[in-house]
């Protein structure tokens, strides 16, 4: 996979999946825009890319709070001014909250929706304006298997991720004529902490035999945004070790 001189934006790239995705694109020659709210975390990832022997690409940090529409617009304007193009957008930034539906406030609901869902639409729209000037591009929206299944007290998060799936196929249809492909990835259990602390039973509950890690998602992003895979758009790629296909019975 070669992304030499491609311009790639990754939101929420200061940690976890976003960090792995940013590093993956830099390793194959892209110039990655680290769009992250936490300045210290974002700059650390950019420095990590610059000092990595395996990285053939580059990185730039831009501070971004995706819940603020004007900041999304300013980011895209800055990318247009500096690079004059955009090839890939990875909408990864998001937050979660565990709150009983009896206690979830309207403000808390709106904050999750604005951060997780509205931001995906706005970033995609602004990115598409730039992409279509250069023949198209690719957008990936990070959803979740929680768009299909839930634990208690995750209503706002689940709704936001379900909305991302619907938004993905809607954008794919609308932006397709401009050469822009839009796909979604729904991760399952992706361990962002100390992988060595996972228990054998954590791994065994997955048909794949292990819990996922951020690199599993990063490799999928590289695959979906390859120009040769231009027949893939409007789809959801579930990466969960088979968990959503496993029937569970209580003995």
Q: What is the pLDDT of residues 190-229, one digit of tens each?
A: 999 999 999 999 999 999 999 999 999 999 999 999 999 9
* 105-118 average pLDDT score: 98
Residue 115 lies in a domain: yes
Residue 167 lies in a domain: yes
The pLDDT of residue 1 is above 80: no
Residue 1 lies in a domain: no
Per 3-state DSSP, the chain is made up of helix, strand and coil in percentages (nearest 5) of 50, 15, 35
pLDDT given for residue 251 in this prediction: 74
The pLDDT of residue 249 is above 90: no
Which residues constitute the domain of residue 162? Answer: 7-245
Q: First and final CA of the chain: distance in angstroms?
A: 47
The pLDDT of residue 93 is above 80: yes
CA 179/CA 86 separation, integer angstroms:
13
Mention every residue, 6+ apart, whose C-beta is less than 8 A from residue 156: 97, 99, 104, 108, 109, 112, 113
Specify burial of residue 207 (Cβ count, 10 A radius: 0-12, 13-18, 19+): exposed
Residue 250 lies in a domain: no
Structure tokens at 195: 């992988």
Is position 3 annotated as part of the catalytic site?
no
Residue 2 lies in a domain: no
R_g of the chain computed on alpha carbons: 18
Number of domains in the chain: 1
Residue 40 lies in a domain: yes
Residue in 3, 62, 157, 249 annotated catalytic: 157
Q: What is the DSSP letter of 168?
A: H
Residue 251 lies in a domain: no
CA 46/CA 112 separation, integer angstroms:
27
pLDDT given for residue 56 in this prediction: 83
CB 8 within 8 A of CB 88: yes
Q: What is the pLDDT of residues 119-131, one digit of tens each?
A: 999 999 999 999 9
Residue 200 lies in a domain: yes
The pLDDT of residue 54 is above 70: no
Query: Cβ of 167: how many Cβ atoms within 10 Å?
Result: 20
CB 3 within 8 A of CB 75: no
CA 196/CA 181 separation, integer angstroms:
37
Structure tokens at 83: 């690079």
pLDDT given for residue 52 in this prediction: 85
Q: What is the pLDDT of residues 71-82, one digit of tens each?
A: 999 999 999 999
pLDDT given for residue 244 in this prediction: 94
What CATH number is attached to the domain comprising 137? Answer: 3.40.50.720
The pLDDT of residue 53 is above 80: no
């Amino acid at each position: 996979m070669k992304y030499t001189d491609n311009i790639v934006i990754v939101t929420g790239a200061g940690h976890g999946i976003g960090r792995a995705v940013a590093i993956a694109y830099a390793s194959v020659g892209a110039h990655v825009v680290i769009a992250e709210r936490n300045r210290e975390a974002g700059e650390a990832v950019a420095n990590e890319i610059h000092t990595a022997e395996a990285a053939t690409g580059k990185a730039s940090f831009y501070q971004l709070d995706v819940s603020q529409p004007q900041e999304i617009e300013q980011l895209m304007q800055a990318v247009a001014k500096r690079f004059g193009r955009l090839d890939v957008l990875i909408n990864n930034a998001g937050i979660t909250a565990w709150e009983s539906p009896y206690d979830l406030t309207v403000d808390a609901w709106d904050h999750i929706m604005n951060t997780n869902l509205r931001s995906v639409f706005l970033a995609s729209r602004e990115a598409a304006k730039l992409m279509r000037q250069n023949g198209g591009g690719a957008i990936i929206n990070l959803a979740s298997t929680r768009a299909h299944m839930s634990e208690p007290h995750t209503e706002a998060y689940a709704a936001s991720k379900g909305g991302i799936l619907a938004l993905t196929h809607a954008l794919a249809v609308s932006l397709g004529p401009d050469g822009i492909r839009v796909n979604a990835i729904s991760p399952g259990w992706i361990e962002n902490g100390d992988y060595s602390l996972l228990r054998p039973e954590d791994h065994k509950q997955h048909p794949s035999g292990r819990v996922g890690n951020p690199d599993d998602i990063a490799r999928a992003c590289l695959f979906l945004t390859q120009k040769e895979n231009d027949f893939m758009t409007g789809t959801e790629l579930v990466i969960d070790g088979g968990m959503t296909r496993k029937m569970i019975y209580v003995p």
